[in-house]
Structure formats: C-alpha cells, structure tokens
C-alpha cells in the first residue's frame, strides 16, 4: 500500500493480516479494538475518539514506513552501482540493472521527492548512455570517478537502515525486450532499440592490416576521403583499398583521372597491388565525359567507386555528399588534392561529410616509410598508422593497447 489514507470505510479493504503482523504491538491492540468496536463508532463518542486516534497513529506509522522503503530502495541501487566499480559488466547485466531501476521509479518506490533522486537520475543517465554505446561490445569495464564515488559512499555510510544490501538484478525475458531510454518520445524520433530488425545495417571488415586500420565498416552512406602530401602514395594506397574490397566480393570501379589509361604506371600499379584473383572484379576508366552523370551511371554495376582525384572531375565539393546521400548503398573513395596551404582544394566540407578521413604522410623520398593514418573514423580507432610499402600496421602493440582502452567506460 502506498500513500493511502486509511479511513473507517476503507479499513477492511486496505488492512490485511500481513500488515497487522508487521505493525507494532500497541497498534495491533488498536486494531483489535477497532474490529470489536467499529460498529459503535457513530453511537459512542469515546469509541469514536479512540478509533480516530488509532487511525491517525496507524496512518502516521505506515507513511513513515513508506518513506523508509523509498529511501532504502534508492540507497540500495546506489550501493549496487558502487559495487560495479572496477568490474566487467555485460550488456545484459547493465540492461538488467537499468530495467530494475526504471521499474522502481515507475512503481514510485523512488520519486522526485526522494533525498537521493538527483544521484539516481545521474547514474541512470550515465548507464543508459554507456549501454546504448555498446553497439559492437559485449562487455565493458565500469570505472566511477573518485569524486563521485566518494559522494555516493557518503550516502551509504549515513543511511539509517542496518543490514543494507544491494539490488539483486536478474535479467528476465521481459527486461530483454524493454527499450532502454531516458528521453521523452517524439514522433519524429525512433529509439535504436525499436529499430526494425530488417533495417539494421550489417558491418564488415576488410582483410588483414587494412581491416585493422579501418575497423568494422557499414556500407550505408560509407564515404572515405584521402588527402596528403604530393608523392606520398595516395594512388598506391587506393589500389590497395580496391584490392581489399574486391577480396571480399565487391565490384570496384577506379576513375584514374590523374593518370591516363595508357600510362605504364597503371600496369605497374596493377601488378604490384592487385591480386590476380581479384582483378576481374576491378575496372578502370580515365575519363569523365558526362561529369556527375558518368559517376552515377557506374552505380549499380559497381559496389565501390574510387575517384583519383576529385579535382579532376570539375565538380563542386558539395557533389561529394550528394553522391553519398543519393546512392547510400555505394561506397565512395575519393582522393582530394591539397593546396599550398595544405588544405584540400575546393573546400573542406568533404572532410565533414565522409565517415573516414585518411591522410597520407610522406616521410622521405625512399617511399619505404610513407604511411596512411586515419584522422577521423566513425567505425574504428583514429591514429592507427598503415605503412603503404609493407602493407602493415605500424606499432601493432600500441594499436592493441588502444583497442583495449576503448573497452573501458569512465562514468
């Protein structure tokens, strides 16, 4: 029973034998008197006065117990949250805790008037945010910063309830099917947990070191920009990308606008960077007779379209994003030339529109040490360096450490 004022008329429907067993002895005696004398309530002033006093004391006691239960509930959730510090939690374990917390709120076991409502709201928000970020992760390490941990420990230490225990959260089938959200719904927006299964976008990874460089990719509206120093190996790198995409079954078109089709360099690039078994999936063209329409005419025939370089197309930089949006199932990989100020020609908007930005660094004239590095990557870790000559990740141990650190959540 919650916040119910017990009256003479409601007494029999509200007070059960279990409640009577839990109230103090003096109230149990009052209950016994009530049962024996209630029929004379309106006839005997002394009986009326005694019953009124009893009901007042009973309501006061039950109200106080209700507040204790509420405080106990919020503090128990705080204690459970503290116990998560420096532990590895699965996505289902986080969801179980969040669901139990939201259930307690919906049942008004925790209300806005709770003395620790602000702390409950804060930890709920942080855990929901972390849960919803675990797209590719199955587990996460929970780290609570020292200042907040100290604040929560002080709450636990001053709670008047002895023998306080945490919340035992066991995820149920019901909890598994409940969307985790902490925002009010708007018809314009759809929760990611409510997204139809048929609309989910599968991820894929390129083979070998190229896969480590780019991470788990999504085909939907995937666009990659490549820029860098002259002579750094941008074209060579795109041929390696073409081979990697063809390796996993994609048909690839390369617009070699910087290098004519009759150039011996094209042959050397093919022999050095395109595997014989992948060459039937890779085609090239060195002209763009109808500009934008030439590119779009290749959509459907090819899964991946590489343009070397955009500046040779004569198209405005805004058309780069137009391609990505208009043909979301085609992957676009585009080289952009730099100005003398080391910014890309035609404006920097493609860098914002693309999901991955790659910079090619020229270390020396030998080409052996030149590398590609991700300066922006929505699908993986930025800062990973890929040696274009050896086709290997530079500093593999450091890269592994970066990947491990990305599994830790700071809350």
- pLDDT value, residue 409: 47
Structural domains for the chain: 11-176 (no CATH), 203-404 (3.40.50.300)
Pick the residue with more confidence: 398 or 307? 307
Best CA proximity match to 305, nearest among 214, 318, 288 = 288
What is the DSSP secondary-structure string of 173-235?
HHHHTSPP--S---TT---GGGS-GGGPPPEE--SHHHHHHH-SEE-TT-EEEEEE-TTS-HH
Q: Kindly report, residue by residue over 66-91, the tens digit of the pLDDT.
A: 655 455 778 888 888 888 888 888 88
The enclosing H or E element of 27 equals helix 25-37
- pLDDT value, residue 8: 86
Give mean pLDDT, residues 373-402. Answer: 81
* pTM for the model: 0.52
The edge-to-edge listing of strands for the beta sheet with 282-285 is 282-285, 252-256, 304-308, 331-335, 223-228, 356-361, 371-377, 385-387, 392-394
pLDDT at 335 over 90: yes
Give mean pLDDT, residues 13-22. Answer: 80
pLDDT at 285 over 50: yes
Confidence label for 127 from pLDDT (cuts 50, 70 and 90): confident
pLDDT at 400 over 70: no
Share of the chain above pLDDT 90, in %: 33
Best CA proximity match to 230, nearest among 385, 336, 307 = 336
Chain-wide mean pLDDT for the chain? 81
Assigned token pair, 219: 């085909």
- pLDDT value, residue 184: 46
Best CA proximity match to 318, nearest among 340, 339, 347, 275 = 347
Taking CB atoms within 8 Å and a gap of at least 24, the contacts of 28-37 are 30/54, 30/57, 30/58, 31/58
- pLDDT value, residue 193: 53
Q: Kindly report, residue by residue over 196-210, the tens digit of the pLDDT.
A: 444 445 789 999 999
- pLDDT value, residue 20: 83
pLDDT at 177 over 90: no
Between 42-46, 175-179, 227-231, the lowest mean confidence (pLDDT) is in: 175-179
- pLDDT value, residue 3: 53
Burial label, 275 (beta-carbon count in 10 A; 0-12, 13-18, 19+): exposed
Best CA proximity match to 223, nearest among 113, 126, 304, 318 = 304
pLDDT at 391 over 60: yes
Half-sphere exposure (Cβ direction) of 46: Cα atoms closer than 13 Å: 1
Tokens 């939907």 belong to which residue?
220
* φ, ψ dihedrals at 227, nearest 5°: -140, 170
């Amino acid at each position: 029973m919650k916040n119910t004022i017990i009256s003479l008329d409601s007494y029999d429907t509200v007070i059960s034998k279990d409640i009577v067993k839990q109230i103090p002895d003096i109230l149990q005696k009052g209950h016994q008197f009530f049962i024996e004398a209630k029929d004379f309530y309106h006839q005997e002033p002394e009986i009326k006065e005694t019953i009124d006093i009893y009901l007042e004391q009973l309501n006061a006691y039950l109200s106080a117990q209700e507040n204790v239960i509420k405080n106990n509930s919020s503090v128990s959730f705080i204690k459970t949250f503290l116990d998560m510090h420096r532990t590895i939690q699965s996505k289902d374990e986080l969801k179980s805790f969040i669901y139990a917390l939201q259930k307690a709120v919906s049942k008004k076991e925790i209300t806005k008037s709770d003395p620790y409502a602000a702390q409950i709201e804060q930890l709920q928000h942080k855990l929901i945010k972390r849960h919803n970020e675990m797209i590719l992760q199955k587990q996460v390490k929970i780290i609570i910063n020292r200042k907040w941990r100290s604040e929560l420990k002080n709450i636990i230490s001053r709670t008047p309830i002895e023998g306080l225990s945490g919340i035992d959260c066991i995820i149920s089938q019901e909890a598994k099917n409940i969307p985790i959200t902490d925002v009010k719904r708007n018809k314009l927006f759809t929760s990611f947990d409510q997204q139809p299964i048929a609309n989910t976008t599968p991820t894929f990874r390129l083979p070998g070191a190229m896969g480590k460089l780019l991470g788990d990719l999504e085909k939907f509206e995937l666009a990659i920009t490549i820029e860098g120093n002259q002579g750094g190996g941008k074209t060579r790198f795109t041929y390696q990308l073409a081979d990697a995409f063809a390796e996993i079954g994609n048909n690839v078109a390369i617009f070699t606008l910087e290098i004519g089709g009759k150039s011996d360099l094209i042959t050397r690039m093919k022999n050095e960077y395109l595997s014989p078994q992948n060459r039937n999936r890779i085609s090239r063209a060195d002209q763009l007779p109808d500009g934008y329409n030439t590119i779009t005419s290749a959509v459907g025939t090819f899964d991946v379209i590489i343009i070397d370089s955009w500046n040779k197309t004569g198209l405005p930089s805004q058309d780069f994003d137009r391609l990505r949006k208009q043909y979301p199932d085609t992957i676009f990989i585009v080289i952009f030339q730099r100005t003398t100020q080391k910014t890309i020609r035609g404006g920097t908007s493609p860098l914002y529109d693309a999901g991955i930005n790659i910079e090619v660094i020229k270390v020396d004239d030998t080409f052996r040490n030149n590398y590609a590095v991700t300066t922006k990557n929505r699908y993986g870790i930025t800062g990973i360096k890929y040696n274009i000559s050896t086709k290997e990740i530079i500093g593999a141990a450091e890269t592994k450490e970066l990947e491990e650190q990305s599994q830790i959540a700071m809350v």
